[in-house]
Amino acid sequence: MAEEREFSVEARAGYTLLRMESCRLDALLSPRLRSEFVLLNGQGATTVVLDMARCTHCDSAGLGAIQMGDRLCRSAGGKLVIMGLTPSVEREFTASKLNASLTCIYSEPQLQSVL
């Protein structure tokens, strides 16, 4: 059986697209997301777009990993943009008030207005 990829990374003009391939961002996967943010930061990525369209569950560990990614991007002079929140994950962002501190968009066409 093939191993499922958890993330895919694509360098784009002006930003790096980090796509969640997993449907869950929880205590098991959040350390890997943190590592991915650290790796991207070390490679000079300043603006990261985290595509969460496939993610249907995000717990507090996942939210913490996202906050860490935001801090890394800001410290490098860029920003973290969250794209494609599903309704269940959007509720978690709202409950934790992360939607107020992070840039969240629904789809890729909205990117140019926030970059």
pTM of the model: 0.93
Q: Is residue 22 part of a domain?
A: yes
Q: Which two tokens stand for residue 107?
A: 């789809």
- Indicate whether 69 belongs to any domain: yes
Residue 2 pLDDT > 50: no
Output the six-digit token pair for 81.
Answer: 């943009």
Is 102:80 a contact under the CB 8 Å cutoff? yes
Distance CA(9)–CA(25), nearest Å, equals: 16
> What is the CATH classification number for the domain harbouring 56?
3.30.750.24
Q: Is 13 among the domain residues?
A: yes
Q: How many domains does the chain have?
A: 1
* Among the listed residues 82, 76, 77, the one whose alpha carbon sits nearest the alpha carbon of residue 94: 82
pLDDT tens-digit series, residues 41-92 = 999 999 999 999 999 999 999 999 999 999 999 999 999 999 999 999 999 9
Residue 3 in domain: no
State the chain's mean pLDDT as an integer: 94
